[in-house]
Structure 1
Amino acid sequence: MPNKKQVNKKEKQWNNLQNVTLIIPTYNRPHYLTRLLNYYASKQTPIRFLILDSSDTQSKTSNEQAVAALGDKARYVNFPSTIPVAAKLFEGLKLVETPYCAFCADDDLVFIDGLLQALTTLQSNPDYVCVDGIYLNFNQVQNNVHLRIEYATKGIGAEDPGARVFKLYQKYESLFYGVFRTKNALDIFSGVSKNPSLHYQELFQATSALLIGKSHRLPIFYAARQHCDPADMNRDKWQTYYWFAENPKEFMEHYLLYREELWNFYQNHVAEQKYSKETFFQIMDIAHAMYFGVGCPPEYFHSVLQNKWPADVYQKSNLFSENVCNHLKSTRRVWLEASIENIIKWMPKILLSYYSLWDMRKLNKKIQRYTKANWKCALARELKWLAGVDSFGHAYQELCLYLGQPQ
């Protein structure tokens, strides 16, 4: 039994959540928003909620009813359906009354324990600009929940802002859903909205954040993100290589505008300015060149140019095939490539026997008792070991409770 001192400490930590606002933008997905808000209402958390709604009239009616479940802890903000995404987020941030904030998509889930630990860590570290944790990606098929790890790299803690940006683009992971100080988030999104394309808006948010301070990723499960189609299927210029192949001139014009806005942000919001404009641009150019290069598959560019080349050009991105298979006669090459594919296909099944399935059975039984529903966790083969990890079991329990909410 916990003593009175332990109870008071836990209560104080729980009450700390009243210092953070969870901002939930939504657009024509009332079923997802209802599920999310019903989950948080069932938890009776002191978190403040801000729902930014730019849906059509019918969806807005459903959304307002869903918001009512949270009582006076939630504020509903009506936006026209034509408002740009960045403008909606910036206007919403202006309404936040707590010192800390975080975003949550209407089809995702930020775990309350994860939010609390991220908030506490940010409060204790003035050199951090953003704190989050490990992200699960889930896909629900009836009562089966397919899970994989989405974001799990360490935070970026270099002292130099240029080094932090360079590290970000070595393996880019969005910082959008982490916990921020509201003042920092306002400064960042004032610049985000000045970029005309969604692609550079996202990059500006992460880059400008790391110009201000460090990011920190806790070794906990912070959020679960649903794998589904975006609410707006007409998202412009989202993939670098599509945009570059279709219109390289426009791509570079937008990049130069984006880079100039980053320089303006650096001058206005970074306390210790050690870079000249020339040096700053050089750092940004090299860092982004790494990112753009990694995101450009040779197969796509080959498909764009294929009609300009002879039909018998052999295009294969696999290094083993290029360096070994191509030197063999055609029949042997086909046989060797097929053999390699079969080995790769069967290898995960062989590796699976290394893990104990007992943990999975125990976890599913525990979930059934906890959620009063027959959920089954379908982890990727390489993640079976997670079933025996207590923190994962708790996160998965909460995810199943969330998925079981009425929509």
Structure 2
Amino acid sequence: MRNAFIRAGVQRMIGHRLWALLLLSTTVTLSTAAPPSAGSASTLPRMSDPALSPDGRYVAFFAQQGGRRVLELLDLERDDDVSPVLDHGKDEGYSVDWCGWVNSERLLCGYHASARKDGAIQDLTRLVAVNPDGSDSKVVLQGARAGGDERTRPRVLDWMPRDLKAVKLLLVEDGEEYPSVFKFDLYSGKLEREVKAQAPIRHFATEIADYDLRFGWGIVDGELQGFVLEGRRQKKRWRRLQRLRPASGPEALAPLPNRLLGNHLHAIGKYEGSDAMWLVDLDDAEDPRVIAAREHADGASPLLTADGTLLGITYRSDPSAAIYIDASAQHVAERVVEQLAAREARVVDCVLNPHRFIVFARGKDADTGRYYLYDVRADDTELRELGIASP
């Protein structure tokens, strides 16, 4: 599974659509300077999973150092100065799984290691908080589990954007096989369980309005099943969603891991032989319906920002045939293709204030691609290289 870089901040789906009206109704002039040059490997950092801080000043990313993946930072206000941030637990055998912005002053990263105890292999996990300059690195949560793997390691479900101190965590408790949902305040260390584990649910989605848990799904005897969480507080219960399967298809749709907008869920499934995006009614009042599709396109996967906002879907069979549900992201991708004469371009992250987008673009030659900053200003738009894409 690809390790994600995740960021907290004000949920931006609605904001993106408002900003799209401005982008699409005015002429956005790209910088009159020549298109970004090819650059060289010696001057550009190699990076994966770049993510903007909520205030748009920093770009955090993973880099390779001595065979290890480490956290590094670009300061966009200091001539793209690159500095190391965190390489935790090297001597103890810890490796990073994910990192994310809790707020503009604090990052949270998940690490794991293996150790033998009483003849059995244990999976050790740690959550580490750190400042952007690498200071005040602190282990805020740790655990050990016999026979554990990536399915049982702590992971962030939602970054609690209005709180900026707490996150929703998925934790598999002792004696359980499936994760429970907790609210975790990484400043005070308080851990509060909100929803107890329920088989077969391993994946969850929250609401865009209040970030409450709303939907979960898992596999039963090879079949994907979805469940809607209903009720309040101690009276919450899971209701099986009956219409997760298209009326015309034999297979259940695959839910997309994004926040829910209204009473509907986005999902991927087959339509006339190709992968398409569907909209599922959580009230079970109507059958799922197709909202976007491409002919002869397969291998669809969600196109998500660093904090999990759904922008659309992209296709393994044709990366240039991405489908966007966010008009501003689509507009930016199209302008980057035009400016660079690129074979493909897709938005991988963005913030609204300032209006900045990180775009992955690949030229017509068979290269690994590069990351660019698309910076929308009051009277101009700047496109500049950030780094070379690294696997």
State the TM-score, normalizing by the size of structure 2.
0.28
State the TM-score, normalizing by the size of structure 1.
0.27
Rg (Cα) greater in structure: 1
